[in-house]
Amino acid sequence: MLRWLKNVWILSLKELKSLFNDVILMGLIVVFLSVAVYTVSKGITTEVRNASVAIIDEDRSQLSFRIRDALQAPYFKQPAIISPDQIDQAMDKSNYVFVITIPANFERDVSANRQASIQVLADATAVTQAGVGTTYLNQIIQNEVNAFKHQSPTDMLPLTPMVRVFFNPNTQTHWYTGMAQVLNNITLLAMILVGAAVIREKEHGTIEHLLVMPVHASEIAMSKILTNGLVITLAALLSLWLVVHTLLQVPINGSIGLYVLGTAIYLFSVSSMGICLATVAPTMPQFGLLCLPIYMVSRLLSGSESPIESMPEWIQQVTFYSPVTLYMQFGQEVLFRDAGLDIVWKKLLLMTAIGAAFLMFALKRFRSMLTSQG
């Protein structure tokens, strides 16, 4: 056992030296966990921002003017006033995301407590803004009508709802996106770095040197997993602190120690999968073609892009056994909700079991590759 540990230590030092000498891979780590995290977090939002609105005001009353003035930045641009015959052309050209039609006698009907309605047309090709923005508009219009009638929105309800938003009280998208990008990017980095380490041995001819050394396949594979896992874990911690916490000003509520433990277990399983793929692909381009579909599918089904509950039932059952899904849930629970070990231990145990299965298969494939090379 001591001999095995010593060999893993020596081989790990060799892997570290090889990784630090590879400028492209080191640059990839820096870009993925700094520029990519910041730009995606700031550039992508699920909130309504600067949505273009046009209004057809056939009432031209005090209430219609209040509704128009209530559409303000940063949610909406300055509303444009158009005529009814301009609707089709404006929507066809995507000039506006929303077109609001306020009918004649709208204020008179509201004041007389008669049935009154406003038409809102939404361009659903901008699906996020159309879906969320319609809710915004409905709330804004309802608030203005109630204020005009000097009536509270809860006056007609048998109870008063009290809404409290936990973990992200201002519902800012970049709070979630920043952390999700770190969690997603280390998945791809782990697969690429470990796979590149194996393929680099074949392309540079150094694998023949390993074959004549008194080392086992498990020692070679473990050194690559440990080395790249350590580098990625340290880089992820720096990204969380410098980019997410400092630049994006996202609070980190959970235990960093527990997050490091979960990240190490997760990288163990993903790195083992990367070795499996590297033993199948003879060259780096082919390895990349294998990695990308697996990464994209697992990411899309992990719950980071859309809720798992909205997926078909059979996909939900399958994706809960994916290490990417488990790690995404683990990261949200620890970093956002300050979950302790008593809550996430099952996910850690399942990730460990999946990683062990991946490692057993990876070692089998790795031994076969070394035998064919010899």
- Planar angle of CA 249, 251, 252, nearest 5 degrees: 130
**CATH number for the domain running over 53-148:** 3.40.1710.10
* pLDDT tens figures, 86-124: 988 888 888 999 999 999 999 898 888 888 889 999 998
At residue 211 the predicted structure's pLDDT band, cuts being 50, 70 and 90, is low
With residue 369 as reference, give the H or E element that holds it: helix 341-373
| Gap between the Cα atoms of 243 and 248, Å rounded | 6
Q: Tokens 């997926």: give the residue.
A: 311
Q: Who has greater pLDDT, 312 or 11?
A: 312
Nearest alpha carbon to residue 87 among 51, 120, 61: 120
| Residues 167 and 336: beta-carbon distance below 8 Å | yes
* Cα 100 from chain centre: 34
Q: Who has greater pLDDT, 2 or 330?
A: 330
Mean pLDDT of 194-213: 71
pLDDT at residue 85 tops 80? yes
At residue 292 the predicted structure's pLDDT band, cuts being 50, 70 and 90, is confident
Domains in the chain: boundaries: 10-44+172-373, 53-148
| Gap between the Cα atoms of 88 and 84, Å rounded | 9
Residues linked to residue 51 through DSSP beta bridges, in sequence order: 76
pLDDT at residue 155 tops 60? no
pLDDT at residue 149 tops 70? yes
Q: Model pTM?
A: 0.79
With residue 275 as reference, give the H or E element that holds it: helix 256-280
At residue 178 the predicted structure's pLDDT band, cuts being 50, 70 and 90, is confident
What pLDDT does 13 receive? 86
* pLDDT tens figures, 25-34: 888 899 999 9
Q: What percent of the chain has pLDDT over 90?
A: 29
Mean of per-residue pLDDT scores for the chain: 85
At residue 216 the predicted structure's pLDDT band, cuts being 50, 70 and 90, is confident
pLDDT at residue 69 tops 60? yes
Residues linked to residue 56 through DSSP beta bridges, in sequence order: 101
Nearest alpha carbon to residue 48 among 76, 28, 72: 76
| Gap between the Cα atoms of 79 and 60, Å rounded | 14
Residue 158: DSSP 8-state: S
* pLDDT tens figures, 32-50: 999 999 998 887 777 788 8
